[in-house]
Amino acid sequence: MEGVLVTCEALASLEGECVRCLEPIDDDVDVRFQELFLYDDQAATAGYDPEDDDGVSMLEDDLLDLEPLLRDAVVLALPFQPLCEEDCPGLCVECGARLADDPEHTHEAPIDPRWAGLTELQHDED
């Protein structure tokens, strides 16, 4: 009686990259939302002022604009930090190698810069 109740389900394809290893990700997201669109006469009796943006959805000449609702639902369903795998090890912080491809990847222990001069003396003696 107040308006049109819209129940929507949408499936969207997502493309992006893993935040840890920068590999491409292709995934799907399924979103659902429900919204009541008020008739013009119902909005007037409820005291709704169209210039106030308080989140009330209105019918516009018997037409529904679902784009903003769908966009908001999809954006809220997106992962904050998308991963290619739940246990993605990421990239090596020193050389940028992808650790999932080479799990045995290691580097020599870094030399403290305060002692770097002594290692040069040792190389001179050799």
User: Is 17 a residue whose pLDDT tops 90?
Assistant: yes
> What does pTM read for this prediction?
0.63
User: Is 112 a residue whose pLDDT tops 60?
Assistant: yes
Domain boundaries, the chain: 3-88, 91-126
Query: Confidence band (pLDDT; 50, 70, 90) for 75?
Result: very high
Query: Confidence band (pLDDT; 50, 70, 90) for 62?
Result: confident
Best CA proximity match to 24, nearest among 88, 118, 109, 110: 88
Q: What does the pLDDT average to over 92-99?
A: 86
Residue 65 CA: distances (Å) to CA of 14, 51, 109: 23, 17, 60
